[in-house]
């Protein structure tokens, strides 16, 4: 398992301003168009979206991130289940966060609409969490299991993770699609299953690189101790960038 590139890369579809382009620096590590300041003047939490096909391990990834970071950060989660509350209840059952830090948003059978075309319900859920349990450092917005074209609006999240798994077939990175090719981090999960399903991790890494260029890829096996480590490393970089941008 490895994290391809330690440094933070420019966000998808965001172009450096002339000033940063000239200085050769990366743009600020956020591409979100959502205001960064809350009504009371404080800086809002960093928002990270997690998308990907059904069963690839989005909820397990969210749970692992929460377990790892909850003692040092104030975290909340918004779930967008196709069927209401299943994911929220998984997180509650496994007690990764107190109940008041988890909100489920209903998506009317269209999970991608709620994270991309009409983000109003999700924005409200995020803002309500900041209001009721805040101040928060990190809000994770988990999309309902969807297809390879689902991506988060920049009006909702600052960065997005796309989670696929080796059991879905090692050809998924080659197929591409907006999730695979443009997400800020591609997570290839369940690497422990690779020998069992005949998936070639080398092929997946190569195809991902073809689709994504320099954007990072993390291979994870959440059944292993600290299997979430590469994702945590990436989240920490994002948080550092978010905090630095505030200073």
Partner 1 sequence: MTITTTAPANRAALLVLADGRFPAGGHAHSGGAEAAVAAGRLYDATSLEAFCRGRLDTAGLVAAALAAAAAAGVDPLLLDEAADARTPSPALRATARKLGRQMMRAARACWPSPVLDALAAARPRGAHQPVVLGVTASAAGLGPLDAAHAAAYEAVSGPATAAVRLLSLDPFDATAVLARLAPDLDRVAQQAVDSARLALDSDVDALPAASAPLLEIAAERHAAWPVRLFAS
User: What does the binding site for partner 1 look like in residue numbers (CB under 8 A)?
Assistant: 82-86, 105-110, 113-114, 117-121, 123-124
- Looking at the Cβ atoms of 123 and 188, the one nearer to partner 1 is 123
Beta bridge partners of 47: 139
CA distance linking residue 107 with residue 4, whole number of Å: 34
Residue among 123 and 186 whose Cβ is closer to partner 1: 123
Q: Strands, DSSP E only, in the chain?
A: 46-51, 75-79, 102-104, 138-142, 159-165, 185-189, 217-219
Burial class (CB within 10 angstroms; exposed 0-12, middle 13-18, buried 19+) of 234? buried
State the minimum distance, in angstroms, from the CB of residue 113 to partner 1: 5
Is 155 known to sit in a ligand binding site? Answer: no
* CB 87, CB 140: distance < 8 Å: no
User: Is 24 a known ligand-binding residue?
Assistant: no
Whole-number Å distance between alpha carbons of 134 and 30: 21
On whether the CB atoms of residues 159 and 131 are closer than 8 A, the answer is: no
Q: How far is the CB of 112 from partner 1 (least distance, A)?
A: 11
**Residue 136 Cβ vs partner 1, minimum distance, rounded to whole Å:** 19
Residue (102 or 166) nearer to partner 1, CB: 102
Q: Does 154 count as an annotated binding residue?
A: no
Based on CB atoms, which residue is closest to partner 1, 105 or 140? 105
Q: Judge whether 54 is annotated as a binding position.
A: yes
Supply the minimum distance, in Å, between the C-beta of residue 99 and partner 1. 16
Question: Does 55 count as an annotated binding residue?
Answer: yes
Annotated binding-site ranges for GTP: 52-59
């Amino acid at each position: 398992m490895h994290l391809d590139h330690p440094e933070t890369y420019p966000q998808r579809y965001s172009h450096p301003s002339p000033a940063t382009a000239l200085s050769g620096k990366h743009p600020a590590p956020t591409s979100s168009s959502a205001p960064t300041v809350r009504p009371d003047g404080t800086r809002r939490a960093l928002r990270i979206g997690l998308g990907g096909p059904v069963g690839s391990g989005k909820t397990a990834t969210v749970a692992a991130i929460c377990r790892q970071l909850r003692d040092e950060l104030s975290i909340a989660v918004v779930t967008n289940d196709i069927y209401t509350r299943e994911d929220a209840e998984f997180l509650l059952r496994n007690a990764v966060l107190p109940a008041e830090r988890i909100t489920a948003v209903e998506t009317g059978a269209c999970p991608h609409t709620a994270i991309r075309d009409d983000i109003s319900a999700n924005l409200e859920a995020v803002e309500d969490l900041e209001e009721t349990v805040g101040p928060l450092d990190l809000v994770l917005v988990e999309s309902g299991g969807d297809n390879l074209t689902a991506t988060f609006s920049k009006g909702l999240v600052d960065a997005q993770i796309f989670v696929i798994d080796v059991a879905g077939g090692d050809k998924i990175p080659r197929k591409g699609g907006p999730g695979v090719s443009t997400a800020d981090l591609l997570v290839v999960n369940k690497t422990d299953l690779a020998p069992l399903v005949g998936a070639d991790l080398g092929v997946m890494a190569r195809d991902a690189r073809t689709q994504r260029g320099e954007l990072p890829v993390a291979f994870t096996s959440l059944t292993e101790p600290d299997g979430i480590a590469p994702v945590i490393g990436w989240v920490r970089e994002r948080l550092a960038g978010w905090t630095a941008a505030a200073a």
